[in-house]
Structure 1
């Protein structure tokens, strides 16, 4: 892995860590700003397309405000560079807290998995996130051999 690929990989990890820690300031520092601010795009699993920095960061604020606990485990991370653009793909497995505050009867955990594509662009010499797209991975039901 080249130094630039490692830099993108580490920034991607910082994105997920910011969500885990509920750090909207750190998250905002990762997303593109300036002239690219209105062209950034985000698709959370099950959500419509969000466009523009304000709308995207608002969505993360809502997610973090309504999540008591979340932890991400990233696998299959691949980074491809093409000039000033980097494409990162990975599988994100998540563990989230469930409890009375989440509408459940007792405390517990729930999990899920998404395949993710993040596109980063160099902006003023630094990599910044320009597009995030996460699609849920549907789990097979017990006894199902085919989807």
Structure 2
């Protein structure tokens, strides 16, 4: 936990474009259109309906479902990137209150800090972050995230990235490969796994 190669925090805030507001159908809308307007469902259901529409050769419906599925995935990626940015904001600033708020609660959550073993359970994970934030660093840290990739599958999502971090007085950047796993809790992304592994300069 005292390694000088601890991971970074977000230097720039992501500007996430929100999805279009969904209008409610007016009184003149017929039953079929009203039902179509309310097909705001999860990804698995949309995929199933899309496959059914294709099998039934209802290509107009398939095209609508394909576009809904694409928009749903884009919205999920944007909101997941925003949650990932909040995590790095909290880390950069040593903000323990924000760190406590963004993690999922439970024994299934865990963290692996660079050069340390797995720490499991919400309370223990939070104590580990208290140790990190109480370490002899001057916050905010300087950092940069590179090679960011985001993946969403229903109520689970993960972000992988290369963390570049520099503490005050340090002449070099620490490098970590990180995987951040999130789950939907009450409609919001909450972190459940953070795993960062130190990279040597020749890797």
Q: Using structure 2 for the length normalisation, give the TM-score.
A: 0.60
**1:40-70: CA deviation from partner (whole Å, max 9, x where unpaired):** 0100110110001111111111111112232
Q: Distance in 2 between matches of 1:46 and 1:139?
A: 16
Count of residue pairs the alignment pairs up = 129
In the alignment, which of 116, 121, 139 is matched to residue 201 of structure 2? 139
Q: Secondary structure at the match of 1:28?
A: helix
Task: List structure 1 runs of 4+ shifted beyond 3 angstroms.
Answer: none
Structure 1 residue 72: Cα displacement:
2.1
Which structure dedicates a bigger proportion of its chain to strand? 1
Partner residue in 1 for 2:70: none
In the alignment, which of 160, 172, 177 is matched to residue 115 of structure 1? 177
Partner residue in 1 for 2:101: 29
Partner residue in 2 for 1:94: 165
RMSD: 1.5
Partner residue in 2 for 1:38: 107
Q: Distance in 1 between matches of 2:92 and 2:181?
A: 20
Residue 169 (structure 2) pairs with residue 125 (structure 1): no
Structure having the higher Rg = 2
**Is the Cα contact below 8 Å between 1:97 and 1:110 reproduced in 2?**
no
Q: Distance in 2 between matches of 1:41 and 1:47?
A: 12
Q: Using structure 1 for the length normalisation, give the TM-score.
A: 0.82
Q: Distance in 2 between matches of 1:72 and 1:119?
A: 20
Structure 1 residue 71: Cα displacement:
2.1
Structure 1 residue 111: Cα displacement:
2.0
Q: Any gaps of 5 or more consecutive residues in structure 2?
A: 1-72
Structure 1 residue 5: Cα displacement:
0.6
Q: Distance in 2 between matches of 1:92 and 1:22?
A: 16
Partner residue in 2 for 1:74: 145
Structure number with greater CO (CA < 8 Å, separation at least 6) is 2
